[in-house]
Structure 1
Amino acid sequence: MSRFSRSDFTLESFRRQLANVDALPQLCVLGMVSGVITGALMVGFRLLLDWGANVYMPEGNPEAFEGLAPWFRALLPIVTVILIGVLLWRQKPTARKLGVSHVIERLTYHQGRFPLRNWLNQWWVGVVSVLGGLSAGREGPAIHLGAAAASGLGQQLRLPHNSLRVLVACGTAAGISASFNTPLAGVIFAMEVVMMEYTLMSFMPVMLASTMGALVAQLVYGSEAAFPVPDVSLGSLINLPWVVLMGLMIGLLAGAFIHVSRTPRITRLPLWLRLALVGVVTGGVALWYPQVQGIGYDSLAAALNGQLSVDVLLALIIAKLLLTALTVASGIPIGIIGPVLVVGAASGALSGLLGGLVWPEIASEVGVYAMLGMAAMMAAVLQAPLAALMALLELTHNPTIMLPGMLAVVVACLTSRQLAGCEGFFISSTRYGRHPLQQPLMQALSRVSVPAVMERSVERTTRMLSPEEARRLLESNPVWLVIERSTEDKPVLALKAAELARWMIDHEDAPDHYEGLNADGLIDLLEIPGERLEMAPIGLQATLSEAFIALQNDALGALYVVHGHRPKQKRISGIITRDAIERYYRYTDTGPTG
């Protein structure tokens, strides 16, 4: 006898399997597909940058602002903010939310569903901000484009919302992986910064997505990293105290960046003044130091090789940091990861130069400190130490740098968090010291959709029914009866079928046969003894966290799960109660029902 039937391979069966917490094979398939899609999108985004650079950048290089005439590169940011202001601020405020912060918001409050308009805006805003000379990166757009595309795949297939969360992480990891050619760092970034949790069921699909994203990018651009990295080693352990001091300085810089980017003094200014401030200040600095414009990977590579002068390093540390923070505070949606890496590398390189003056015989090469500074700055700004360390390892291919790397990262993270009082850059709201995605109960409930625990044995009925209709209703042995009301403004109620069965048994033996019938000879389900639960609808794709919030907010007794997309064709698939949710997260020996 065949082990599988044709029904096991239908889309409906695929959706039912994904509703459970242990749908690992199905999630892995989705991870691979989303990784390929995201990798292709990242190639497309980079091609757009290259095509745009061919219009006016020297040799078609998106980073070659130094080769432009001073007046032209100073004018570029002003034109860019005007373009973004005219095209983006004419749209609704919700359509102007882009980048990693938008991804986390949609994952936290919208179960990983993304609006199409924001996704389309991300394409042109990402290209214009980088090529227009603002201090902006391409990783934020890459994460948004990848996460939204992967989630869109799930939405098109009408998959449960718990799988959409994993797809968002898959798109995020593949976006980072395709941008830096660092698949492992992409996985850790997705879990540490976006999902804010580590689970086996998420890790494996995300790893596959990150691998496929890197593979697609390597087929087009080769296996080289986003920027060349020299061979580095720490040398003497006497350098470690200097690494600690460097981590302390970078932690303070990271705290300054976060505080400036969130300062209310800038956000309260009129829009035209904020945009003008960004354009004019960026253009003014670019007259003398064009290295502050764009992503800055060329400057980062030069810092790693010790090829930048002290004044340029100071310009990158101070001016690029403040320009990036000012742009963010003004409401312009840019990617910050690339500029943050450049600032960190410049800070590390300057520390290396100072160390060489203090201990010329013992001090390590400037490139060592630049690499450590890059990782420390990324970790301190994002509060993502593991992602930064994995990026450091994959970029250097040198495990010996992990010891000083861990020291620099920990010191920088602690300094930013404790001395500067900063949470991670993308954590904008907390409750009881935790972001909503970090709350253990909501994390557990978000991993499962309602079909996994709902009671499917239900029958719909009207309020009034004859004894014969009641007997036919009970023949299928339902657990719940869904009582439909005469008007839509009245709430739908649920009654245990056992209550009706008990009532009928009690009254069949009564002297007056069914003495509880009304004047029309009908049973009134609102009058027989028994507890009736007031219910509200919830979609079949919803997670247990959505059900939990609905039951808490509306003080309902239960929810009825509706299936179908056309209003007149919707049907009730089951009922989910508070007790069912409690049984799931308490995990009794029998496990969740369904």
Structure 2
Amino acid sequence: MQKIWYQITEHLIPVFRRRLSGVDALPQLAVLGLLSGLITGGVILIFRLAIEWPLERFLPGEGSESFENLDLLTRGLLPLAGALSLGLLFHRLATHDRKVGVVHVMERLNYHQGYISIRSAIVQFISGVATVVSGQSAGREGPAVHLGAAFSSLMGQWMRLPNNSIRTLVACGCAAAISASFNTPISGVIFAMEVVMMEYTIAGFTPIILAAVSAAVVTQAVYGSEPAFNVPALTMNSLLEIPWILAIAVIIGIAAALFIQLVDTMGKHHHRPVLLRIVTAGLLMVPFAILVPETMGIGYDTVNETINGQLGFWLLLGAGVAKLIITSLSIGLGMPSGVIGPTLFMGATLGGAMGLIGAQIMPEHASSVGVYAILGMGAMMGAVLQAPLAALMALMELTHNANIILPGMLIITTSSLVTSEAFGKKSLFLTILKNQGLSYQNSPVIQALRRVSVGAIMDRSILRTERHLTVGDARKVLKSEPKWLVVEGSNGPTALLPAVDLARYIEDTEKLVSEEEIEPPESIDLMDIPANRRDVAPVQYQATLEEALDEFESTNAEALYVQRHVAPMIQRVYGVVLKSDIESYYQYRRS
């Protein structure tokens, strides 16, 4: 058994890592995608149980969302007490430990190659459960995405995988989380690539699809195969409804722009104490909880009632507007709430309200309220996240109805265009990142460099050697025919020397000794002989080509030696990378 474990750790895993450093390691990525989906599916099950179990026992009535059945005093005190508890928790945490949600995942991808800590996952789990259980206007999908990305990243870190693979694992975790939350694997895949990664790659699709499918299987084993909402058979009655659908798209596009603007405006107070901001968000929630209790919690019970036409116009309009206002204010002030669930709530209620108006205007042609509610959900999600394809896929999977595609494409693209072009709003997540003084680089060059590790292009034909060598030692060094000599100094490698320059120096010296009959040198100083030496700096084996280029810029080095920690205080050098190698590789891949 010990021998088998030795073979796995010393031979199989290093080969696995080496293959993953390239861009075309599909079999290895597929295995990682399956593992990521299974792990994320299990984590999301625990997360949902942590939310539903206390609510089912605490709330009167059936289910875990019946906040409306609480008495007025409890409805007012519950979100305030929850906000105070969350504020105290975040007050005790360091600033970098307070960051949670999809925005934090995007930040870690852009600035830290997808490395997410276990501490961050624990904070997200606790805060995600607390926001929903305490009746804040919150969703569970944002925290679920963070948890899926975190545990997938932690798996990659534990296996010491290259950074390009950890980035793919983070995308797998995001897709698996959405798939497990809504039972919508296709929209999970598109969400991960359109919203989080902001790129589509053939190599990326396979592991992300496998992650989404395996996570859906895990949750279906516990919750069944039904989607998150009870959607009846829906169809658009007449093409004459298209003008009204376009009008609704404009209204929802305006509502989405207002939502993003309110989050942006409140986010400008991020320099104020976190305890003050979160308690203020709790205080703002109190009147909404008392007057419009439908805004409390996730609100999927209200969404289901809207889809099935069980709510009146004024309740739908009031709940939709109230949800928009309190959710945007809360998120802007720093409440660790998910945003995907609230966008679906807002879209369903506002779309349902507009559907009732349409039924009054043209009763003989108008479709059911459920059709407009579903279309509103897709339109609001697409406009707020600027992810029209993910929103359309979500509509298809939630309804299991191909008849929704035509009006869905129309309303989602129109509302997204109104929000982005008429009002100049970017995705909510990019807006929050910008508010924090951060950006998200997604140029084609950066994306290409992030997909490949230095291990894929490094030159392994190297030999580490001391600076001072005898002629005999120099000959032994050249006997193994390395391309590069890594010259050791007192604190590690100090220079890179072409082996051919040393060979030429020995040949010239021998010729000089024989012609002029002088004494041969006792030793050779590799830092003194005529040679094309290059200053070097270290780069970790897991680093991507983007990180390597950043290292070149920050150190002004002419070459990087690729190293990895193999034991405490021991670094092993695996190869060297020149800046020209990175440029040549990118040019080759592009052509």
**Are 1:419 and 2:422 an aligned pair?**
yes
1:190 counterpart residue number: 192
Aligned counterparts of 1:516 and 1:236: Cα–Cα separation in 2? 102
**Are 1:452 and 2:453 an aligned pair?**
no
Q: Answer whether contact 1:507 1:514 (CA < 8 A) is retained.
A: no
Q: Answer whether contact 1:517 1:523 (CA < 8 A) is retained.
A: no
Cα drift, residue 552 of structure 1: 2.2
Distance 1:514 1:70, change over 3 A: farther
Secondary structure of 1:509's aligned partner: helix
2:3 counterpart residue number: none
**Are 1:313 and 2:321 an aligned pair?**
no
Q: Answer whether contact 2:497 2:531 (CA < 8 A) is retained.
A: yes
Q: Answer whether contact 2:538 2:561 (CA < 8 A) is retained.
A: yes
Aligned counterparts of 1:235 and 1:326: Cα–Cα separation in 2? 38
1:3 counterpart residue number: none
Secondary structure of 1:427's aligned partner: helix
Q: Answer whether contact 1:564 1:570 (CA < 8 A) is retained.
A: yes
Aligned counterparts of 2:257 and 2:325: Cα–Cα separation in 1? 12
Specify which of 402, 405, 410 is matched with residue 402 of structure 1: 405
**Are 1:443 and 2:447 an aligned pair?**
yes
Specify which of 178, 181, 198 is matched with residue 179 of structure 1: 181
Q: Answer whether contact 1:504 1:514 (CA < 8 A) is retained.
A: no
Cα drift, residue 368 of structure 1: 0.8
Aligned counterparts of 1:587 and 1:63: Cα–Cα separation in 2? 55
Q: 1:389-411, CA deviations, whole angstroms, 9 ceiling, x for partnerless residues?
A: 00000111111111110110111
Cα drift, residue 509 of structure 1: 0.6
Distance 1:413 1:493, change over 3 A: same
Aligned counterparts of 1:565 and 1:523: Cα–Cα separation in 2? 31
Q: 1:46-76, CA deviations, whole angstroms, 9 ceiling, x for partnerless residues?
A: 1111222134112463211011111101111
What TM-score do you get using the length of structure 1 for normalisation? 0.94
1:201 counterpart residue number: 203
Distance 1:337 1:425, change over 3 A: same
Q: Answer whether contact 2:87 2:276 (CA < 8 A) is retained.
A: no
- Letter paired with 1:480: W
Distance 1:513 1:322, change over 3 A: farther
Q: 1:416-456, CA deviations, whole angstroms, 9 ceiling, x for partnerless residues?
A: 101121111112457xxx96442111111111111110011
Where does 1:364-383 land on structure 2 (aligned, <5 Å)? 364-383=367-386
Cα drift, residue 316 of structure 1: 2.2
Cα drift, residue 521 of structure 1: 2.4
2:235 counterpart residue number: 233
Root-mean-square deviation over aligned CA pairs? 2.1
Cα drift, residue 567 of structure 1: 4.2
Cα drift, residue 370 of structure 1: 0.7
2:555 counterpart residue number: 554
Q: Answer whether contact 1:247 1:412 (CA < 8 A) is retained.
A: yes
**Are 1:473 and 2:474 an aligned pair?**
no
Distance 1:268 1:483, change over 3 A: closer
Cα drift, residue 584 of structure 1: 0.7
Q: 1:183-236, CA deviations, whole angstroms, 9 ceiling, x for partnerless residues?
A: 111011011111111111110111011000000000000011112112111111
Aligned counterparts of 2:17 and 2:216: Cα–Cα separation in 1? 28
1:162 counterpart residue number: 164
Where does 1:40-439 land on structure 2 (aligned, <5 Å)? 40-59=42-61, 61-263=63-265, 264=267, 266-267=269-270, 269-428=272-431, 436-439=440-443
Aligned counterparts of 2:417 and 2:589: Cα–Cα separation in 1? 40
Cα drift, residue 565 of structure 1: 4.2
- Letter paired with 1:577: L
Q: After superposing the two structures, state which structure 1 stretch, 371-380 or 309-318, moved more.
A: 309-318
Aligned counterparts of 2:104 and 2:410: Cα–Cα separation in 1? 32
Q: Please, which runs of 5 or more residues in structure 2 have no aligned partner?
A: 1-6
* Number of aligned residues: 579
Secondary structure of 2:463's aligned partner: strand
Distance 1:514 1:557, change over 3 A: farther
Distance 1:9 1:243, change over 3 A: farther
Q: Answer whether contact 1:538 1:562 (CA < 8 A) is retained.
A: yes
Q: Answer whether contact 1:463 1:525 (CA < 8 A) is retained.
A: yes
Aligned counterparts of 2:205 and 2:430: Cα–Cα separation in 1? 22
Distance 1:317 1:59, change over 3 A: closer
Q: Answer whether contact 2:487 2:495 (CA < 8 A) is retained.
A: yes
Q: Answer whether contact 2:176 2:185 (CA < 8 A) is retained.
A: yes
Distance 1:125 1:588, change over 3 A: closer
Q: Answer whether contact 2:87 2:279 (CA < 8 A) is retained.
A: no
Distance 1:485 1:222, change over 3 A: same
- Letter paired with 1:586: Q
2:4 counterpart residue number: none
Aligned counterparts of 1:437 and 1:517: Cα–Cα separation in 2? 60
Q: 1:507-530, CA deviations, whole angstroms, 9 ceiling, x for partnerless residues?
A: 111146899999x72212122222
Cα drift, residue 315 of structure 1: 2.3
Q: Answer whether contact 2:566 2:572 (CA < 8 A) is retained.
A: no
1:573 counterpart residue number: 574
Aligned counterparts of 1:514 and 1:282: Cα–Cα separation in 2? 94
Identical amino acids, percent of aligned pairs: 46
Aligned counterparts of 2:441 and 2:153: Cα–Cα separation in 1? 17
Aligned counterparts of 1:269 and 1:564: Cα–Cα separation in 2? 41
Q: Answer whether contact 1:389 1:406 (CA < 8 A) is retained.
A: yes
Q: Answer whether contact 1:507 1:513 (CA < 8 A) is retained.
A: no
Q: 1:83-115, CA deviations, whole angstroms, 9 ceiling, x for partnerless residues?
A: 001112211011111111111111111111111
1:463 counterpart residue number: 467
Secondary structure of 1:573's aligned partner: strand
Aligned counterparts of 1:382 and 1:517: Cα–Cα separation in 2? 77
- Letter paired with 2:131: S
1:10 counterpart residue number: 12
Cα drift, residue 566 of structure 1: 3.0
Cα drift, residue 268 of structure 1: 5.1
Q: Answer whether contact 1:53 1:60 (CA < 8 A) is retained.
A: no
Cα drift, residue 307 of structure 1: 1.6
